[in-house]
Amino acid sequence: MEIGEPVQNLRYHVIGGPFSVAVERRDEEAPMIRGELVDISASGVRLATTQPLRFGEDFVLHMESADLGLGTSITSCVQWIRPGRSEEGWLLGCTFEGELQPKILDELVERAILERRVSDRRDVSIMVDAEWERQSAVE
């Protein structure tokens, strides 16, 4: 990997901000489901919802922040489902049809909604021994 080359499928952790997520199911009779973004990458998302979707179900994911003037929608597909942390909640792993534009992720990082790091930074001190060998110039 070259310096400055983008990391493929870098996952971003959601740290806050006024950001809403809604799931629009293909079934026109089904109501819109509100969700919470857990983490996101260019190719997919992990959502927390109060209602499960079906494995393999296609839907449109709407993400927006009226306060920040940001918004996008992208067709997605459920890849896995598991019970969430609360008794009535669900976690969904979903892939995007195509990729989310990098500028959207960059904007969310700049606006402090997403963070590339999940763990806290900590000071680290490491002892290192180094040995150099001098090469003489041959003329």
Q: pLDDT tens, 79-132?
A: 999 998 777 799 999 999 988 888 888 888 887 778 876 555 567 778 888 887
- The answer as to CATH 2.40.10.220 being correct for domain 12-115 is yes
Phi first, then psi, for residue 2 (nearest 5°) are -85, 150
Please name every residue paired with 14 in a beta bridge, in sequence order, or none if there are none.
Answer: 114
Sorted by where each begins, the domain ranges of the chain are: 12-115
As a residue count, the chain comes to 139
Cα 53 to Cα 119: distance, rounded to the nearest angstrom: 30
3-state secondary structure of 103: helix
The predicted structure's pLDDT at residue 1: 39
In which band, very low, low, confident or very high, does the pLDDT at 4 lie, cut at 50, 70 and 90? very low
List pLDDT tens digits, range 26-82.
Answer: 887 888 999 988 888 889 999 999 888 999 999 999 998 877 788 889 999 999 999
What does the angle CA 98 – CA 20 – CA 25 come to, to the nearest 5 degrees? Answer: 55
